[in-house]
Amino acid sequence: MTGRGAISRARRVVVKVGSSSLTTAEGGIDPARMSALVDTLVDVRARGTQVILISSGAIAAGLAPLGLPSRPRDLASQQAAASVGQGLLIQQYTEMFDTHGLRVGQVLLTVDDLTRQSNYGNALRTLGRLLQLRVLPIVNENDTVATHEIRFGDNDRLAALVAQLVRAEALVLLSDVDGVYTSHPDDLGAQLIHHVLDVTALDVDTSRTGSAIGSGGMTTKLQAAQIATSAGIPVVLASAAQARAALTGQAVGTLFAPIDRPRPRRLLWLGHASITKGSLALDDGAMRAVLRGKASLLAAGVTGVDGQFTAGDPVDLVDASGRIRARGISNFSSVALPEMLGRNSHELADSLGEGYGRAVVHRDALIVLTPTDTEVPF
Measuring CA to CA, how many Å separate 323 from each of 36, 292, 363, 371? Answer: 46, 16, 20, 9
Distance CA 48, CA 349 (A): 57
Q: Where are the beta strands (DSSP E) in the chain?
A: 12-17, 50-55, 104-109, 136-141, 170-175, 180-181, 192-193, 195-196, 235-239, 254-256, 278-282, 302-307, 314-318, 324-329, 366-368
User: Which residues, 6 or more positions from 117, have their beta carbon under 8 angstroms from its beta carbon?
Assistant: 269
Phi and psi (nearest 5°) for 328?
-155, 170
User: Which residues, 6 or more positions from 339, have their beta carbon under 8 angstroms from its beta carbon?
Assistant: 352
| Average pLDDT of span 240-251 | 94
Residue 118 confidence (pLDDT) = 65
Flag the least confident range among 211-225, 323-337, 349-363: 211-225
Q: Residue 143: pLDDT above 60?
A: yes
Mean pLDDT over the full length of the chain: 84
CB 271 within 8 A of CB 327: yes
CB 77 within 8 A of CB 59: no
Residue 376 confidence (pLDDT) = 40
302 versus 227: the higher-pLDDT residue is 302
Which pairing describes strands 12-17 and 50-55: parallel, antiparallel, or unpaired?
parallel
Instruction: Single out the residue of 359, 361, 351 nearest to residue 316, CA to CA.
Output: 361
Q: Residue 216: pLDDT above 60?
A: no
Q: Residue 165: pLDDT above 80?
A: yes
Q: Which CATH superfamily is domain 276-374 in?
A: PUA domain (2.30.130.10)
Residue 377 confidence (pLDDT) = 39
| Residue 211: pLDDT band with limits 50, 70, 90 | very low
| Average pLDDT of span 257-274 | 67
Residue 212 confidence (pLDDT) = 42
| Residue 72: pLDDT band with limits 50, 70, 90 | confident
Domain ranges of the chain: 4-266, 276-374
Beta bridge partners, 180, equal: 193
pLDDT, tens only, 298-314: 999 999 999 998 887 88
Can you tell me whether residue 53 is helix, strand or coil?
strand
Q: Residue 41: pLDDT above 90?
A: yes
DSSP character at residue 140: E
pTM of the model: 0.76
Q: Residue 265: pLDDT above 50?
A: yes
Phi and psi (nearest 5°) for 143?
-65, -20
Residue 27 confidence (pLDDT) = 64
CB 269 within 8 A of CB 231: no
CATH no., domain 4-266 = 3.40.1160.10
Q: At what angle do helices 117-132 and 155-165 cross, to 10 degrees?
A: 80
Residues 319-347 as b/e (b if ≥16 CB within 10 A, e otherwise) read beeeeebbbbbbbbbbebbeebbebebee
| Average pLDDT of span 350-373 | 80
Residue 25 confidence (pLDDT) = 67
| Residue 210: pLDDT band with limits 50, 70, 90 | very low
Can you tell me whether residue 148 is helix, strand or coil?
coil
Calculate Rg over the CA atoms of the chain.
22
